[in-house]
C-alpha cells in the first residue's frame, strides 16, 4: 500500500458523499447497540455473536439495527463495483449508474426477503430456520463492514490491483466457507426436508443472483 491520494476533482464529490453516508449508517448501528457492533466485528467469534443476539427482537429484520445493516451491505456492494473502475473494470463510472445499481439491489433484496418469508411460512419451517437466516444475515453484515474498510483504503491510497484482488478473494473464500457451514447445519437439522432445501438453494440463492448479474453487471462488462 502506497501513499494516500488526495482526490480534489469535482467529479469525485458524489463518491466521497457515498462513503460518508455509509459511515453514517455504521455510526447509526454503533449508536443503537455498541456492544452488538463490537461483537459483530469479532470475525473469529461469529457463532458467539449469533448465540448472544438470536432472539425474537433481533430476528425482526425490519428493526432499526437490521435495516441499517441492510443499507451498509447494499452500499458496500455497490462501492465494491465502483472500486473496480479504478482497476480498468468499469462496471460503475457515473453517479446515476451507482444510484441505479443501489435501487435495483434494494428492490431485489426486498422482493427476495418477502419471497423467502412467504415460502418458508408455507413450508412450515420458518420458525426453525429463522436462526439460520439470522446467522447468514449476520455474516453478510460482518463481511460488509470489513469490505467497506478495505474499499475505503483501496480508493484513497495507491493500492495495487494484485493486492486488491487478493484481499477480496480471501474475503470471498471466507464468505463462501461460512455460507457452506450454514447450509451444512441446515441439512443436519432438517434432513427430512432435503427437497425443500434444494428448491430453496435454486430459487432463492442461485437463480436470483444469476438474474441480478445478467441485468446489472453483464451489460457493463
Q: Which three cell numbers stand for residue 107?
A: 428492490
Residue 8 has pLDDT above 50, yes or no: no
Mean pLDDT of 190-212: 62
146 CB contacts (<8 Å, ≥6 apart)?
A: 43, 171
CA distance 186 to 9: 50
The residue ranking higher by pLDDT, 16 or 48, is: 16
What's residue 20's pLDDT?
A: 92
> What does the pLDDT read at residue 89?
64
Q: Which three cell numbers stand for residue 64?
A: 432499526
| pTM: predicted TM-score of the whole model, two decimal places | 0.77
DSSP bridge pairs for 37 = none
For the chain, the average pLDDT equals: 76
- pLDDT bin (cut points 50, 70, 90) of residue 30 is very high
Query: In terms of C-beta density within 10 A (0-12 exposed, 13-18 middle, 19 or more buried), how is residue 183 classed?
Result: middle
Side-chain half-sphere CA neighbours of 29 within 13 A: 24
Grid cell, residue 88, equals 480498468
Looking from the CA of 105 toward its CB, the CA atoms found within 13 Å total 18
pLDDT for 69: 92
Q: Which three cell numbers stand for residue 98?
A: 451507482
Q: Where are the alpha helices (DSSP H) in the chain?
A: 13-32, 34-40, 46-53, 64-83, 95-123, 126-156, 161-189, 194-200, 207-212
Percent of all residues in the chain with a pLDDT value above 70, rounded to a whole number: 67
pLDDT tens track for 165-192: 888 888 888 877 777 777 776 666 665 6
Most confident residue range from 143-157, 161-175, 192-206 = 143-157
Is-contact 188 37, C-beta < 8 A? no
Query: pLDDT category, 10, cuts 50, 70, 90?
Result: very low
Q: Which three cell numbers stand for residue 180?
A: 457452506
Per-residue confidence (pLDDT) for residue 71, from 0 to 100: 93
Predicted confidence (pLDDT) at residue 27 exceeds the cutoff of 80: yes
The owner of cell 455497490 is: 78
Looking at the predicted structure, is the pLDDT value of residue 1 above 60? Answer: no
Residue 201 confidence class, pLDDT cut points 50, 70, 90: low
Please say if the pLDDT value at position 137 is more than 80.
Answer: yes
What pLDDT shows up at residue 199?
Answer: 62
Tell me how far the alpha carbon of residue 182 is from its chain's centroid. 16
- In contact, 152 and 128? CB cutoff 8 Å: no
The separation between CA 167 and the C-alpha centre of its own chain, rounded to angstroms, equals: 16
Query: What is the C-alpha separation between 144 and 62, in angstroms, rounded?
Result: 18
- Residue 4 phi/psi, 5-degree rounding, is -70, 145
Amino acid at each position: 500500500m502506497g501513499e494516500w491520494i488526495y482526490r480534489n476533482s469535482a467529479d469525485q464529490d458524489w463518491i466521497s458523499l457515498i462513503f460518508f453516508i455509509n459511515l453514517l449508517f455504521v455510526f447509526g448501528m454503533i449508536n443503537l447497540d455498541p456492544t452488538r457492533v463490537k461483537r459483530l466485528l469479532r470475525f473469529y467469534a461469529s457463532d458467539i455473536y449469533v448465540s448472544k443476539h438470536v432472539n425474537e427482537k433481533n430476528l425482526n429484520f425490519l428493526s432499526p439495527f437490521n435495516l441499517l445493516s441492510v443499507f451498509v451491505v447494499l452500499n458496500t456492494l455497490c462501492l465494491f463495483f465502483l472500486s473496480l473502475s479504478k482497476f480498468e473494470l468499469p462496471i460503475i463510472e457515473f453517479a446515476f449508474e451507482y444510484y441505479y445499481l443501489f435501487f435495483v439491489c434494494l428492490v431485489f433484496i426486498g422482493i427476495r426477503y418477502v419471497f423467502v418469508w412467504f415460502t418458508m411460512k408455507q413450508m412450515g419451517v420458518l420458525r426453525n430456520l429463522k436462526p439460520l437466516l439470522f446467522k447468514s444475515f449476520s455474516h453478510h453484515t460482518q463481511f460488509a463492514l470489513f469490505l467497506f474498510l478495505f474499499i475505503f483504503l483501496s480508493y484513497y491510497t495507491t493500492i495495487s490491483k494484485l493486492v486488491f484482488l487478493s484481499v477480496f478473494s480471501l474475503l470471498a473464500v471466507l464468505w463462501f466457507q461460512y455460507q457452506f457451514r450454514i447450509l451444512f447445519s441446515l441439512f443436519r437439522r432438517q434432513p427430512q426436508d432435503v427437497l425443500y432445501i434444494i428448491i430453496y438453494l435454486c430459487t432463492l440463492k442461485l437463480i436470483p443472483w444469476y438474474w441480478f448479474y445478467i441485468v446489472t453487471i453483464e451489460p457493463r462488462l
